[in-house]
Amino acid sequence: MGHIIIIGLNHRTAPVEIRERLAFSADTIGHALRGLLERESLREGVILSTCNRVEVCALSHQGFRGAAEVKEFMAAYHGIPLGEVNGYLYHYEGEEAVRHLFRVASSLDSMVLGEPQILGQVKDAYGYASEFRSIGPILDKFFSKAFSVAKRVRSETRVASSAVSVSYAAVELAKKIFGDLADKTVMLIGAGEMCELAARHLISAGVKGIMVTNRTFERAVKLAEEFGGTPVRFDELPVHLKRADIVLSSTGAPHFIIRKKEVEEVIRIRRNRPMFFIDMAVPRDIDPDANQVDNVYVYDIDDLNNVIETNLEERQKEARKAEEIVAEEVRSFRRWLDAQQVTPTIVTLRRKFEEIKNAEVAKAVSVLGAESPKTRKVVESLASSILNKVLHAPIAALKKDADGRNQMELVALVREIFDLPDSPEQAGSGEEEDAGKTPPE
Amino acid sequence: MMHISLLKVTAFFYLAGSLLYLYFIITLNERGARLGRMSLLIGVLLHATGFVLRYAAAGYTPVTNLFESLSFFALAIAGTFLVVEIRYNLRTLGSFVAPLAFVFSIFAAFLPGEVAGLAPALNSYWLPIHVMLLFIGDAVFAVAFGAGIMYLLQEKQVKRKKMGAMFKRLPSLDVLDDINYRCLTIGFPLLTLGIITGSIWAEYAWGSYWSWDPKETWSLITWLLYAALLHGRLTVGWRGRKAAILAIVGFGAVLFTFLGVNLLLPGLHSYSSLSR
């Protein structure tokens, strides 16, 4: 029996130092996926690695063992003793894993609820897995479903629009503070999705330049390249801060990285030219007291949300609506998943052939016109024995090695070539309809 | 006489302009701003015509008594505002500055407007130079005052993160601070020149450059306030809230130097007190 497991850590469970140590970079992800599937009980795998989360989703055919193997893999791949990171990892299996991925893709698990970039990142993770052939029929269906859930959440709730308007509000505020943005410079600290979104908005609003800094300098370089900006070393931040008019921050630091005293110092050096700090981090990066300094404006994510006047109550209402959609989709995916097991597949397969047999027997009997029990019995036993012999091999193959590595592919294959519906009940009703449409000759 | 009615009727146009600009800032209806500007423009043209006619009738620059000075001050404010408004396309400024032009012109309209003849001491070519320099300078400070109020309103909303109805209506902090600075760089030299010409004239007329007459003392206080602001801006980078508050306080000093001294403190400059 196949088991979906997700092992991961995110901005809530682990500080940035740990997340960075466990992150997978895009150029080595193929290698990582291969390493993952070398583990004995793992069949399919997808790795999602963003600045706020690292998650490994795998299909295990040995339940419990699989989860342990994923953890071992994550630690071993990065050369870290498992004991050091184990406490930061969460672990979802089965239905919980399904719910988790659906929530992640729908941006319900994001630092900023509804931020739109996570879906693209999940799609990228899926893309890598397809490219390196680490994904099979189950996870393929799982991720496709996650994308459609995210789409539903986006179109049926206003969870996403609030995040977009947060970064829009940040740009509007910047315009009210600075007027023309054309000679303004942005400093991007860390690499949260919301910050990147706001940075993009600011760039399209026409800011002069952008500096990017990150604890990991390579990331800063990469992001700076993406934005056409300048990378700055994290420890040189205090030196460059004075050149920034707008500061966008979203690091995973557990404490303030910019305190009021530093802001006072910088604003003095800038001869009071205004500064606008946008703090997207949770917990916050910038001391909110810095807002008291003249010509300094500090907004955190809650402030921005308040500005756009979607009050907390309304946002919670939308989030609840989204959670309901997720719950509904989890149930429907679970039905599909259950159907992928050996026993229900055999039942459905048998049911389907029984339906065909019964219909054909009825036809044959009516054509022969012989209502004698004997004729009927002969026809029926002929059909039954053909059916049993035809089905013997596929059913034997399904039953054999029920926990084997190929078993899941086999189930999927059988379901596909025999066009089996997700539940045995549906098989029955489907056949009846078909039989009704084709009148006996 | 024609020029008196012209000078008095302008108050109506300034009132209409103020109301239209207020209508604009409330409803954001563009027509309010367009008509407001039109109304102020007509007011200024009529006002200027009245001023010239009175000059022709009286034979001297009509800025010698309270009626004439208030009226000229209103003209200077409305004219300066129109220049700034067209330059910056800052229509919301009208809601804050146009009412000032109205207040001074309606104040003038309630005073007797007859030509009273020129006091001998004022019969000098320094009169128009000295007085007009100061009034135009004061009008520029009036615009800075309006921008200062707008700055404080806007800054309060951004700082407290409570965006009221004014947030989207008021311009950016940067633009308002820029107006503060530009007004300072124009108003301050005018004020300085006005005081210097006055001092030279005083030497001719009264035989002393400076005699600590209340008007002179208050002019000096006003000058020191604006000098402090300019100095702070240029050396330590004062700006924003601090500059806005100083522009408001400075204009308070301007008003006191002009009206408070005239009405309350008798001295050498008492040509334009109410008693006359």
A277 touches chain B (CB under 8 A): no
At A9 the three-state DSSP class reads strand
Angle, CA of B150, B156 and B160, to the nearest 5°: 160
The whole-number pLDDT of residue A371 equals 67
As a whole number, mean pLDDT of residues B216-220 equals: 93
Arithmetic mean of pLDDT, A68-73: 93
Whether A62 has a pLDDT exceeding 90, the answer reads no
Question: Which pLDDT band holds residue A438 (cuts at 50, 70, 90)?
Answer: very low
The rounded distance, in Å, linking the Cα atoms of A362 and A208 is: 80
Contacts of B173 (CB under 8 A, 6+ apart): A176, A177, A178, A179, A274, B151, B154, B155, B158, B240
Query: Which residue in A295, A306, A308, A310 has the most chain B C-beta atoms within 10 A of its own C-beta, making it the best mutation to test that interface?
Result: A295
Q: Which CATH superfamily is domain A3-158+316-338 in?
A: Glutamyl-tRNA reductase, N-terminal domain (3.30.460.30)
pLDDT value of position B274: 59
pLDDT digits (tens, 9 = 90+) for B44-72: 999 999 999 999 988 888 888 888 999 99
A25 pLDDT tier (thresholds 50, 70, 90): confident
Band of the pLDDT at B273, cuts 50, 70, 90? low
- Gap from A183 CA to chain B (nearest CA, Å): 12
The reported pLDDT for the residue numbered A405 is 55
So what's the pLDDT on residue A26? 81
The answer, yes or no, to whether residue A262 has pLDDT greater than 80, is yes
How many contacts (CB atoms, under 8 Å) link A and B?
48
A59, A138, B97 from A134: Cα distances, Å:
10, 11, 70
Do the Cβ atoms of B73 and B135 come closer than 8 Å? yes
Q: State which H helix or E strand residue B153 sits in.
A: helix B126-160
Kindly report the nearest CA distance between residue A177 and chain B, in angstroms: 5
What are the extents of the domains in chain A?
Answer: 3-158+316-338, 166-307, 345-437
A272:B238 CB<8 A: yes
Would the pLDDT of A172 be above 70?
Answer: yes
pLDDT of A436 over the 70 cut? no
CB contact under 8 A, A272 and B158: no
- Residue A431 pLDDT greater than 50, yes or no: no
| SS3 call for A140 | helix
Q: Give the pLDDT confidence score for residue A243 in this predicted structure.
A: 94
d(C-alpha A68, C-alpha B22), whole Å: 71
Does residue B33 surpass a pLDDT of 70? yes
What does the mean pLDDT of chain B come to?
Answer: 90
Read off the pLDDT of each residue in B255-266 and give the average, rounded to a whole number. 86
**pLDDT-based confidence at residue A401 (cuts at 50, 70, 90):** low
Q: Enter the tokens of residue A47.
A: 């790795």
**What is the distance in angstroms between the Cα of A314 and the nearest Cα belonging to chain B?**
18
Write down the pLDDT at residue A427: 44
* C-alpha closest to that of B138 among B192, B87, B99, B215: B192
**Mean of the per-residue pLDDT values of chain A:** 85
CB contact under 8 A, B237 and A307: no
Determine, for residues A294 and B241 on separate chains, whether the beta-carbon distance falls below 8 Å. yes
| Range B102-129 burial, b when 16+ CB lie within 10 A, else e | bbbbbbbbeeebebeebeeebeeebbeb
Chain B contact for A179, CB < 8 A? yes
Ranking A411-425, B89-103, B116-130 by mean pLDDT, the lowest is: A411-425
- CB contacts, 8 Å: B178 with chain A: 179
Q: What is the mean pLDDT of residues A332-344?
A: 81
CB contact under 8 A, B174 and A291: no
Q: Where does the pLDDT of residue A428 fall: very low under 50, low under 70, confident under 90, or very high at 90 and above? A: very low
Question: Exposed, middle or buried, A391 (CB in 10 Å: 0-12/13-18/19+)?
Answer: middle
Q: With contacts defined as CB-CB under 8 Å, which chain A residues touch B240?
A: 272, 274, 294-295
Name the one residue in this structure whose structure tokens are 């097991």: A341
- For residue A437, pLDDT over 70 is answered with no
Taking the Cβ of residue A343 and every Cβ of chain B, the question of whether any pair is shorter than 8 Å is answered with no
Interface predicted TM-score (ipTM) of this complex, two decimals: 0.87
- Provide, as residue numbers in chain B, all residues whose Cβ is less than 8 Å from the Cβ of A303: 161
Tell me the DSSP string of A100-132. Answer: HHHHHHTTSSSSSTT-THHHHHHHHHHHHHHHT
Of all residues in chain A, the one with the smallest CA distance to B232 is A271
Q: Which residue in chain A has the smallest CA separation from B239?
A: A272
Does this model's pTM top 0.90? no
Does the distance separating the beta carbons of B154 and A176 come in below 8 Å?
yes
CB–CB of A295 and B158 under 8 A?
A: no
Please determine, for residue A441, whether its predicted confidence score (pLDDT) is greater than 60.
no
Residue A373 dihedral angles phi and psi, to the nearest 5°: -60, -25
Give residue B98's pLDDT band: very low, low, confident or very high (50, 70, 90).
very high
Span A117-149, pLDDT tens digits:
889 999 999 999 999 999 988 899 999 999 999
> In this complex, is the C-beta atom of A92 within 8 Å of any C-beta atom belonging to chain B?
no
Task: Report the gap between the CA of A412 and the closest CA in chain B (Å).
Answer: 56
Distance from CA of A215 to the nearest CA of B (A): 30
The amino acid at residue A111 is: M
User: Strand pairing of A90-93 and A3-10?
Assistant: antiparallel
Residue numbers in B near A175 (CB within 8 A) = 172
Percent of the residues in chain A that have a pLDDT greater than 90, as a whole number: 44
Task: Tell me whether residue A51 is one of the annotated catalytic residues.
Answer: yes
* A100-114, A349-363, B109-123: segment of lowest average pLDDT: B109-123
What superfamily in CATH does domain A166-307 come from? NAD(P)-binding Rossmann-like Domain (3.40.50.720)
Cβ atoms within 10 Å of A207's Cβ, excluding its own: 22
Report pLDDT digits (tens) over B177-199: 999 999 999 999 999 999 999 99
pLDDT confidence of residue A1: 45
Confidence class for position A261, pLDDT limits 50, 70, 90 = very high
Q: Residue A307 and residue B161: Cβ atoms within 8 Å?
A: yes
pLDDT digits (tens, 9 = 90+) for A191-231: 777 788 888 889 988 899 999 999 889 888 988 998 899 99
Q: What digits encode the pLDDT tens for the residues A94-116?
A: 899 999 999 999 989 887 778 87
Cβ <8 Å between B237 and A177: no
Looking at residue A21, its pLDDT comes to: 85
Percent of chain A topping pLDDT 70: 91
CA distance B183 to chain A (A): 18
pLDDT for A310 equals 55
The span from the CA of A3 to the CA of A150, in Å, is 23
Task: Give the pLDDT confidence of A37-59 residue by residue, as tens digits.
Answer: 998 888 899 999 987 889 999 99
Q: What is the pLDDT of residue A311?
A: 57
Query: What element of type H or E holds A3?
Result: strand A3-10
Catalytic residue among A5, A22, A47, A51: A51
Is A271 in Cβ contact with B158 (below 8 Å)?
A: no
